Structure 1
Amino acid sequence: MSASKARPVRPGGANPRSRAQRRADTERLLADERHLWLASGGPRPHLVPLAYVWDGGVITMVTRRATRTARNLLADGVVRAAFGSATDVVLVDGTVELTEPAEDPADVRARYARLPLDPARVPGAVGVRLTPRRILAWRSLAELEHRVIMDDGVWLT
């Protein structure tokens, strides 16, 4: 391929980020974004966008108790959350706990108030608390080899 027809390098393609940089970028993304895609298993796998709040250790969401997502989470309790774009991927695998919002501590209820589906205003809502166990992050093929930045709940940096 001639120099005039060279393909542009996508962000992160030429020089892969270190795990430490990917961790910092991931923590910033988790803090700044407000929506994720949540995949749940169970008898009928399901993928749904949800608003969330990150407190630095747990991803807090709310859904209605009658949804397929809630049923799947009760049946299985293991999920994958997807953030970012096809050129800046963050995947979080973890376990979830469904909670009764009225019984949650005040700090968790304060996080709910920052979500569109606040249980204080929406009857039939249930809290969903995702604890990350494994996090993968990459922007290009150059970062695939070391894409795991958290394993078994421990950051690898």
Structure 2
Amino acid sequence: MTAVDSQPSGPRSPEQRKREALERLAGDNDVWVATADATGEPCLVPLAFWWDGETVWLSTRDTNPTGRNLCASGRVRLCFGHSRDVVLVHGTARTLTREELPAEVGDAFAAKDGWDPREDHPSYVFFQVTPQVLQAWGTVPEMAGRTLMRDGKWLV
């Protein structure tokens, strides 16, 4: 049973949604990653991630569409959860090669996912996504007040 399913009535408070969004960031295994190229061609893929408490770390090849788009624009949207309990993050991504990546970040990413991109193909790079906007909602009654972070600052 999800938090939305177990609601007695009415929308969750912003504080509860923030708490549950942070739990999702810490506990989910994968995230939907949306990017676009310079012509606007969209790309949507699931990727493993690690949340360090402030930023989301992703890894993918710099030669695939998602990697190329992130390297070129640094713009990304991340979607955690499902359609009735979603956390949507609009963020900016910074590219780091495996040589630039702090060892503790690579170790934590590998420990969480059970896969270490640093030991995979050389085209794997890392992206540090800094949230600019974070929204969390379950159903229509939660649409109002769904923005919990704006300009990288928590509103709650």
TM-score, length of structure 1 as denominator length:
0.88
Once the two structures are overlaid, the 10-residue window that deviates more, 109-118 or 52-61, is 109-118
Aligned pairs for 1:97-136 within 5 A: 97-114=94-111, 115=113, 117-123=115-121, 124-136=123-135
SS where residue 103 of structure 1 aligns?
Answer: coil
Per-residue deviation, 1:13:
8.0
Per-residue deviation, 1:51:
0.4
Per-residue deviation, 1:14:
2.6
Aligned counterpart for 1:65 among listed residues 62, 65, 70: 62
Q: 1:51 corresponds to which residue?
A: 48
Q: 2:149 corresponds to which residue?
A: 150
Amino acid at match of 1:111: A
Which blocks of at least 5 consecutive residues in structure 2 are unaligned? none
Amino acid at match of 2:64: T
Amino acid at match of 1:155: W
Q: 1:33 corresponds to which residue?
A: 28
In structure 2, C-alpha distance between the alignment counterparts of 1:17 and 1:10, rounded to whole Å:
11
- Find out whether 1:74 has 2:68 as its counterpart: no
Percent identical residues = 38
SS where residue 119 of structure 2 aligns?
Answer: coil
Per-residue deviation, 1:116:
5.1
Amino acid at match of 2:70: L
In structure 2, C-alpha distance between the alignment counterparts of 1:131 and 1:32, rounded to whole Å:
18
Between the two proteins, the alignment pairs up a number of residues equal to 149
Q: 1:139 corresponds to which residue?
A: 138
In structure 2, C-alpha distance between the alignment counterparts of 1:117 and 1:106, rounded to whole Å:
15
SS where residue 120 of structure 1 aligns?
Answer: helix
In structure 2, C-alpha distance between the alignment counterparts of 1:102 and 1:113, rounded to whole Å:
15
**RMSD in angstroms over aligned alpha carbons?**
1.7
Per-residue deviation, 1:39:
0.2
Which of structures 1 and 2 has the bigger CA Rg?
1
TM-score, length of structure 2 as denominator length:
0.88
Moved over 4 A (4+): 9-13
Which blocks of at least 5 consecutive residues in structure 1 are unaligned? 1-8
In structure 2, C-alpha distance between the alignment counterparts of 1:23 and 1:65, rounded to whole Å:
32
In structure 1, C-alpha distance between the alignment counterparts of 2:42 and 2:16, rounded to whole Å:
33
